[in-house]
């Protein structure tokens, strides 16, 4: 179904799930506002999507690890005349290692990108959607949000926040005409793992879903009004099984998984 009148803003759109979400919305005929630190990469993506799908695409470079950049982005988008109908908070990253061994400043940047900027952008863009009684927010969480995360403690905690925050917002906005959804993928083909491990390889690679499959599942769930989307049967089984397992066992399994 074409959505030519709909404008979708995607953060972290230069690679991975963010790029696939942008492609999925472009295929539906949506106009795009793409956000990332890598402007040259975004410009190439914008040109490709514009030519392939005949949609308007705007590009804004923004570093969401800086506290003031969320407001700056909002003002730039508004001053450029773009009305955002769907906000996709995809930007985020993880770090693997023991909490005390990882650099604190880098972990605080993770909290800023994964949590603070997500909250800030939502607070900036959501009121206009509620006033128009249409539009929505898609937050990209993770199955990590359902689990404790030894050896990735802060990352898992940020995704638990995203899950809880989204569910609460969905309840607050129920009946308003605005949809709020959280996409919670498991391991996905992207550069996320390389960044989290600092370029160090795993001894054994894990099976991953394709980014396109994850993005399409997330957009479909959002269109259907589902608050939580967990793509893939194995990920859904993981999320459900943790409800019945003792927490000490869950911690032990995740700790073992989050090793090089």
What average pLDDT does the segment 235-240 reach? 93
Q: Which of 155, 156, 222, 257 is catalytic?
A: 155
pLDDT given for residue 80 in this prediction:
95
Known catalytic residue: 155?
yes
* CATH value of 7-257 in 3.40.50.720, 3.40.50.1820, 3.30.70.270, 3.90.1300.10: 3.40.50.720
Edge-to-edge strands, sheet with 57-61: 57-61, 31-36, 7-11, 86-89, 135-140, 178-183, 228-229
Helices H, strands E: what count in the chain?
10, 7
Confidence band for 1, pLDDT divided at 50, 70 and 90: very low
Specify the DSSP class assigned to residue 199: T
What average pLDDT does the segment 217-235 reach? 96
Q: What is the rounded distance in angstroms from the CA atom of residue 137 to the CA atom of residue 141?
A: 12
Q: What is the rounded distance in angstroms from the CA atom of residue 58 to the CA atom of residue 93?
A: 24
**Which pTM does this prediction carry?**
0.91
Res. 206: pLDDT tops 80: no
131: tokens are 């006033």
Residue with tokens 């959607």: 129
pLDDT tens for residues 180-198? 999 999 998 866 655 554 6
pLDDT tens for residues 143-176? 999 999 999 999 999 999 999 999 999 999 999 9
Q: What is the rounded distance in angstroms from the CA atom of residue 162 to the CA atom of residue 81?
A: 29
Q: Which of 75-84, 129-138, 186-195 has the lowest mean pLDDT?
A: 186-195
Q: Which positions ≥6 away from 232 have C-beta within 8 Å?
A: 185, 186, 209, 213, 217
Residue with tokens 């009946």: 175
pLDDT tens for residues 21-71? 999 999 999 999 999 999 999 999 999 999 999 999 999 999 999 999 999
pLDDT given for residue 204 in this prediction:
58
Res. 202: pLDDT tops 80: no
pLDDT given for residue 30 in this prediction:
97
Mean pLDDT score of the chain, rounded to an integer? 93
pLDDT given for residue 189 in this prediction:
84
Question: End-to-end alpha-carbon separation of the chain, Å?
Answer: 43
pLDDT given for residue 193 in this prediction:
55
With 0-12 CB in 10 A as exposed, 13-18 as middle and 19+ as buried, what is 100?
A: exposed
**% of the chain residues with pLDDT over 90:** 87
Q: Are 11 and 18 spatial neighbours (Cβ–Cβ below 8 Å)?
A: yes
Q: Which positions ≥6 away from 105 have C-beta within 8 Å?
A: none
């Amino acid at each position: 179904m074409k959505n030519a009148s709909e404008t979708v803003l995607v953060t972290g759109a230069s690679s991975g799930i963010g790029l696939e979400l942008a492609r999925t919305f472009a295929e539906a005929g949506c106009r795009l506002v793409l956000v990332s630190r890598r402007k040259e990469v975004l410009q190439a993506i914008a040109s490709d999507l514009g030519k392939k799908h005949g949609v308007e695409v705007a590009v804004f470079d923004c570093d969401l690890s800086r506290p003031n950049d969320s407001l700056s982005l909002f003002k730039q988008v508004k001053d450029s005349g773009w009305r955002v109908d769907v906000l996709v908070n995809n930007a985020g990253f993880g770090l693997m290692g023991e909490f005390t061994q990882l650099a604190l400043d880098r972990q605080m940047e993770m909290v800023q990108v994964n949590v603070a900027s997500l909250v800030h952008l939502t607070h900036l863009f959501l009121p206009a959607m509620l006033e128009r009684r249409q539009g929505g927010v898609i937050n990209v969480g993770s199955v990590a949000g359902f689990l404790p995360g030894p050896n990735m403690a802060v990352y898992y905690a940020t995704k638990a926040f995203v899950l809880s925050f989204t569910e609460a917002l969905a309840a607050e906005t129920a009946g308003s005409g605005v949809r709020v959804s959280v996409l919670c993928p498991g391991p996905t083909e992207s550069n996320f793992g390389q960044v989290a491990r600092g370029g160090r390889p795993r001894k054994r690679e894990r099976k991953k879903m394709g980014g396109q499959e994850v993005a399409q599942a997330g957009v479909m769930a959002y269109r259907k009004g589902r608050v939580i989307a967990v793509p893939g049967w194995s990920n859904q089984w993981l999320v459900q099984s943790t409800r019945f397992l003792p927490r000490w066992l869950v911690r032990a399994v995740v700790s073992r998984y989050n090793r090089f």
